[in-house]
Amino acid sequence: MDRALIQAELQTIFHDVLRAPGFVPTPEMETGAHPNWTSIANVEILLSAEELWGFEFSSADIDGVRSFGDLIDAVAAKLG
Amino acid sequence: MPSPPSLADLHPLLAKIPQHSVEQPDVTALLCEGEAISYRDFWARAIDVADRLIGLGLTAGDRVAFDAERLPHTFSNLLGVLIAGGIYVPLGEKAPPARHDAILADSGARFRLTGENCTAIEGEPANGREPAGYILYTSGSTGVPKGVQITLDNLLDYFENVEALYPLAPGERVAQILDLSFDVAGGEMFQAWRAGATLCVVPTRNVLMWPRYFRDLEIVEAKLVPSQVRLAADKNLLKPGSLPRLRQVILGGELVTGAVVRQLRAAAPNATLINFFGPTEATIYISHYPIEADFADHEGVPIGRPLPGQALVIDGDETGELLLGGSQLAPGYWRMPEANAQRFIERDGVRFYRTGDLARFDPEHGFVFLARLDRQVKLKGHRIELDEVEKVIRTHAGSERAYVIVDGDELVCAIQAGLDLEAVEAGARALLPSYSVPRLVPLADFPLNPAGKIDYKRIREIVTG
């Protein structure tokens, strides 16, 4: 899947989970970049991505996810 | 240049680690951020830290602060401090700089370990009387950080007790999930390293995904706070049978309920669950209760009986404040004579720590925690037990997620969203006097603090806007 498309889908997930429809995450942003982007919200974002694309992250997959850009990479890797 | 103590001079708490570095040098001591560090390398790194500290002028009893971000070098840093005879002082990774400054000033730390750098800082030299160990800072009821000093002798007694009851085997994989400024993290680390096991660090940024790490890393032993279990169950991360390798789970830090036991048993059918109890002042945990019976979802699991050589005593007839005694008791709070006089008392020539917990003794199960005495408030002239109010609300809500706070002269209860609040309130009104029925505020998520416990302060901020 195209990275731009993954980014757009993830942005929708962020809007829903953070209840922040105007929030535009950029690749370098990390947890805390939005006040609602807490560690609990982070779990929901990961789980929402799993549900949307029908895969499951392993601990090794999420180990490298520190930023929004890393998350795009992790999803792209799972989707091959 | 002075050198670190020889192996023969090492404190017995630490002496097993260099043995493992010789007898099983290639076994992984630490798995952290994708890096696997063998016992040989781990010990060598810790010795290097000790060497550098001694080279900078550290003498026994000097305080050494370190940034407690859970990265590979952090673990060899703190071990190096102990090898050198110092007292380590973690600066919590989520704490603001002002708190770090307050801790540095109060502890009088003379050295600071930042990343892999080791520097001498403005501080107070050791007086030669302070034994090696650590000082952990708790929040303190006044908001001023309060340092609890724990010695290596305290720790040795704790570990010898726990190892006899709940042993680990060399090479087994043990979870490291807790913030290093929380004393149970010491329990995770040294129990693993003394056994020659592998300590597997679940990174802070993903700590709430712990079931995935436990499954993928084949974790055998873990120490968990009930709120971490609840949150994982809420997010459907605790699937039935998903953690078959887990054989021992130590629960503690908060009241363990029947629901938490049920959720863990379903996910980890082969695990023995043990409820451990103990404040920082009594070195990690002082009592234990192997959970074999079933408990109703909202029922609290007993805290059981003291570890060998320790004492739990009720200050009263059947119900009263729980007092703790024995060799695990801390020397006291760091430079707080008034707090020491208030909390560390003597009864018939025996030293005890006053927990501030209300408890009773049950001949079948041992000690049973009832409530925190400092959660008794007075509102508009009425004395109210917040723990009691929470218990009633939880029973009527059919959910454990109900947390009561005081906002001005109003009681507010943050409660799990999606429940019939009118029914819950009606149920509470049937049992509680009207002045102790709280306003119910539904919440979708309940924040945890760095120790993995429910964060009442943050809940207050959320429900009071």
- Determine the pLDDT at residue B153: 97
Residues near A8 by beta carbon (within 8 Å), at least 6 away in sequence? none
Whole-angstrom Cα distance, residue B102 to residue B133?
A: 20
Last residue of a domain, one of B148, B181, B212: B148
In this prediction, residue A38 has a pLDDT band, given cuts at 50, 70 and 90, of confident
Q: Flag if B208 and A39 touch (Cβ within 8 Å).
A: yes
Is it the case that residue B144 has pLDDT exceeding 70?
no
Last residue of a domain, one of B350, B372, B394: B372
Mark whether B230 and B305 lie in a shared domain: yes
Domain span holding position B318: 202-372
> Per the structure block, which two tokens stand in for B427?
């149920």
Whether the Cβ atoms of residue A68 and residue A28 lie closer than 8 Å to each other: yes
DSSP string, B63-90: EEEEE---SHHHHHHHHHHHHTT-EEEE
Mark whether B77 and B214 lie in a shared domain: no
Provide the CATH number for the domain around residue B450.
3.30.300.30
Mark whether B212 and B102 lie in a shared domain: no
| Number of residues assigned to chain B | 465
Residues near B241 by beta carbon (within 8 Å), at least 6 away in sequence? B266, B267, B269
B393: in domain: yes
Total count of domains within chain B: 3
Mark whether B310 and B349 lie in a shared domain: yes
- Determine the pLDDT at residue A54: 96
Compute how many other C-beta atoms are within 10 angstroms of the C-beta atom of residue A63.
20
In chain B, what percentage of residues exceed pLDDT 90?
76
A40: in domain: yes
CA distance, residue A39 to nearest chain B CA (Å) = 7
B211: in domain: yes
Mark whether B387 and B361 lie in a shared domain: no
Is it the case that residue A48 has pLDDT exceeding 60?
yes
Whether the Cβ atoms of residue B450 and residue B94 lie closer than 8 Å to each other: yes
Kindly report the average pLDDT of chain B as a whole number. Answer: 93
B35: in domain: no
> Per the structure block, which two tokens stand in for B269?
């059918």
Least Cα distance to B32 among B175, B135, B210 occurs for B175
The average pLDDT across B414-438 equals: 89
CA distances from B313 to A22, B155, B352, B431 (A): 57, 21, 9, 31
Q: Which one of A41, A43, A66 has the shortest CB-CB distance to B209?
A: A43
Whole-angstrom Cα distance, residue B420 to residue B435?
A: 21
Chain B contact probe: residue of A17, A29, A31, A40 with most B CBs at under 10 A: A40
Mark whether B412 and B359 lie in a shared domain: no
Domain span holding position A60: 3-24+34-79
- Determine the pLDDT at residue B464: 82
Whole-angstrom Cα distance, residue B113 to residue B64?
A: 7
Provide the CATH number for the domain around residue A73.
1.10.1200
Give yes or no for B337 touching A (CB within 8 A): no
Mark whether B389 and B409 lie in a shared domain: yes
Last residue of a domain, one of B329, B352, B372: B372
A14: in domain: yes
Q: What is the dihedral of CA B139, B144, B145, B150, to 10 degrees?
A: -90
B80: in domain: yes
Number of alpha carbons in the 13 Å side-chain half-sphere of residue B369: 28
Q: Flag if B212 and A60 touch (Cβ within 8 Å).
A: no
Whole-angstrom Cα distance, residue B306 to residue B285?
A: 9
Burial code (b: 16+ CB inside 10 Å, e: under 16) for B134-154 equals bbbbbeeeeeebbbbbbbbbb
Mark whether B131 and B216 lie in a shared domain: no
DSSP string, B277-307: E--GGGSS--EEEE--S---TTPBPP-BEEP
Provide the CATH number for the domain around residue B57.
3.40.50.980
Give yes or no for B239 touching A (CB within 8 A): no
Q: Flag if A63 and B34 touch (Cβ within 8 Å).
A: yes
Q: Which one of A43, A46, A59 has the shortest CB-CB distance to B216?
A: A59
A51: in domain: yes
CA distances from B124 to B60, B104, B142, B244 (A): 13, 10, 25, 50
B242: in domain: yes
Whole-angstrom Cα distance, residue B88 to residue B135?
A: 6
Contacting residues of A for B215, CB less than 8 Å apart: 59
Residue pLDDT, tens place only, B431-441: 888 888 999 99
- pTM of the model as a whole: 0.89
A29: in domain: no
Whole-angstrom Cα distance, residue B157 to residue B192?
A: 16
Total count of domains within chain A: 1
The average pLDDT across A23-50 equals: 92
Whole-angstrom Cα distance, residue B443 to residue B437?
A: 18
B46: in domain: yes
Whole-angstrom Cα distance, residue B407 to residue B414?
A: 12
The average pLDDT across B138-149 equals: 74
B28: in domain: no
The average pLDDT across B18-47 equals: 97
In this prediction, residue B140 has a pLDDT band, given cuts at 50, 70 and 90, of low
Q: Which one of B231, B235, B447 has the shortest CB-CB distance to A47?
A: B235
